[in-house]
Amino acid sequence: MTSHLTREAAVRTGDELPPLDIPLTRTLIVATALATRDFQDVHHDPALAVQRGSKDIFMNILTTNGLVGRFVTDWAGPSARLRRIRVRLGAPNYPGDTMRLTGAVAAVDGTRVVVDVRGANSLGDHVTGTVEVDLPALQGDGR
């Protein structure tokens, strides 16, 4: 990832965040479902996931939320505070694929920044949404 924002950094509407590729391994999908205490079988048991109509296990929404938050805070730096994450799920994240997270600054209001986020895999958009983040580094830069 690129360097964290600094007090001198200018954040402007339209600025693009560096993309982040997330390899969707079976281990990532299972481990993060368990870490978020989501024991639904569709997140760890391939046979039951298929029985329920899926082609394989798939990532849970809590993991997706966490990855979206990580994407924005990796760009924004350690002093950033997530205020709100709003996401809409689309195509499932299956093992063996890659999700590419991209984003752009949609609005800047003082230290509050809104970022539009998209996470796509080979099937299409897995997640779209917005993240509101406070960036104390912007305080005092004239905004």
Q: Tally the domains of the chain.
A: 1
**Percent of the chain scored above 70 by pLDDT?**
90
d(CA 85, CA 62): 11
Residue-wise pLDDT for 134-143, tens only, equals 998 776 544 4
pLDDT digits (tens, 9 = 90+) for 62-99: 999 999 999 999 999 999 999 999 999 999 999 999 99
DSSP 8-state symbol, 84: E
What is the domain range of residue 42?
16-138
Can you give the CATH number for the domain in which 46 is found?
A: 3.10.129.10
Domain presence at residue 127: yes
Assess if residue 1 is contained within a domain: no
Q: What is the pLDDT of residue 9?
A: 64
Residue 143 lies in a domain: no
- In a domain, residue 48? The reply is yes
- For residue range 41-55, list pLDDT tens digits in order: 888 989 999 999 999
